[in-house]
Structures are given as C-alpha cells and as structure tokens.
C-alpha cells in the first residue's frame, strides 16, 4: 500500500499480479543479471512465477514494440489475461558516436509512450552508462528497483480504480 502522507511504499504485495518483462539481449551479461535480480524480487514480493512472462528482443530499440504487444494482451477473448504491469530491461553503454543518445532517447520515449497510451505501469530499467564498470555496478540494484516499482504502481492503480 502507498502511504501518501509519508510518500513511501508500505507492505508491497505482488500476490495475484501478472507481470510482463521485456529484456534486450544486447549487452546480455548485464541484462541477464538485471533479469535475474528482477525476477527474484518479484517472487520475493509474492508474484507467482507462473504469472511472470519474460521475452527477449535484440536490443533497446525493440523493447517498446514488445511492451506494446504485451500491453494489448487481453484485448481479445483469445489473447489471455492482461498484464497488471510491465518491465523494460536493457543496457546501453556510451560509445564514440551519437548512437548512444539516439538509442537511449528513443527507447526511453517509446517505453513511456506505451505506458501512457495503454494506461499500464512500466518500470524502465534500461540502464544507460558511460562504461561497462558503471553497468556492472548498477545491474542488480536496478533489477530489484524495477520489480518494486511495478508492484507499487500496480497496487496504486488498482487502488485508484476502486
């Protein structure tokens, strides 16, 4: 539950939530660790393993399209149950060209647009770093943070809908 007075999430409980995860394969050693930390935290928070759908895409630019497909799930009777929240996982490391800014900006904007268009919470854990050392330092914490964010936001939106 979210305590608006304190501004802190209290008693995060993911029981019964259906969560979709989209993981970019590029910089896979980092994104695999992000995914493992994220999944472990979701389970720790009560999300059943069977309620987690995890898909892989080539890179960060492909993440928003997969998120959109997941957000659409449940629109038709044959689609299956809709997701309560989604998670974007990826790693973009600065190189020597403008490509870093393009990928970081476009993937981030795409993730945000899907969440707003489909009214679904999305934790954006596509980390952007200057180098591999920074990525390694952030990989586990950001995976855990993403899990906590989606559970909190799913709880918040369910509470506001009542």
3-state secondary structure of 128: strand
The DSSP string of 137-160 is: HHHHHHHHHHHHHHHHHHHHHHHH
- Active-site positions read 99
User: How far is the C-alpha of 85 from the C-alpha of 38, rounded, in Å?
Assistant: 13
The residues, any chain, with a CB within 8 Å of residue 99's CB and separated by 6 or more, are none
User: How far is the C-alpha of 122 from the C-alpha of 38, rounded, in Å?
Assistant: 13
């Amino acid at each position: 539950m979210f305590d608006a007075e304190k501004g802190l999430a209290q008693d995060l409980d993911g029981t019964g939530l259906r969560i979709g995860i989209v993981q970019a394969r590029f910089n896979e050693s980092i994104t695999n660790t992000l995914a493992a930390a994220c999944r472990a935290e979701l389970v720790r928070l009560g999300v059943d393993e069977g309620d987690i759908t995890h898909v892989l895409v080539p890179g960060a630019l492909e993440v928003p399209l997969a998120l959109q497909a997941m957000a659409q799930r449940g629109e038709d009777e044959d689609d299956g149950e809709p997701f309560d929240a989604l998670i974007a996982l990826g790693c973009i490391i600065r190189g020597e060209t403008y490509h870093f800014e393009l990928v970081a900006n476009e993937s981030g904007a795409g993730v945000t647009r899907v969440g707003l268009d489909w009214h679904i919470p999305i934790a954006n854990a596509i980390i952007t770093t200057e180098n591999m050392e920074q990525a390694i330092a952030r990989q586990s914490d950001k995976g855990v943070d993403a899990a906590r964010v989606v559970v909190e936001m799913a709880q918040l939106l369910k509470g506001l809908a009542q």
